Amino acid sequence: MNTIFIAGHAKLPAGMAAKNVYETLTITAEIDKNYGVIVDASCTLATEHGRDYISKLLKGHSLRDGIDRPLDQLRKGYLGKANNALIAALKDLHKQYEGYFQ
């Protein structure tokens, strides 16, 4: 298999629907080992629409290029309560990715 599976985690803010199910928000990604491209991604947001949005936002991005572009897209495009948790989870995922190659 030429991919790795990485998860990034962050605490959810109070008052979120997903908080009733999960204590943390998780973003998972299947990443191509050679190019760092996100092949597939998911997260633990409560709604399917939210999960699909994050998946579309992340798919095709190469983590070798850093995470500034998807972070900017999250800041400008995702206006829900989980925005800061999504940003933190994506940063954690990127940290896990970098640690894999050290």
How much is the pLDDT for 101?
79
Three-state DSSP string of the chain? CCEEEEEEEEECCCCCHHHHCCCEEEEEEEEECCCCEEEEEEECCCCHHHHHHHHHHHCCCEHHHCCHHHHHHHHHHCCCCCHHHHHHHHHHHHHHHHHHCC
Predicted TM-score (pTM) above 0.85: yes
* pLDDT band with cut points at 50, 70 and 90 for residue 12: confident
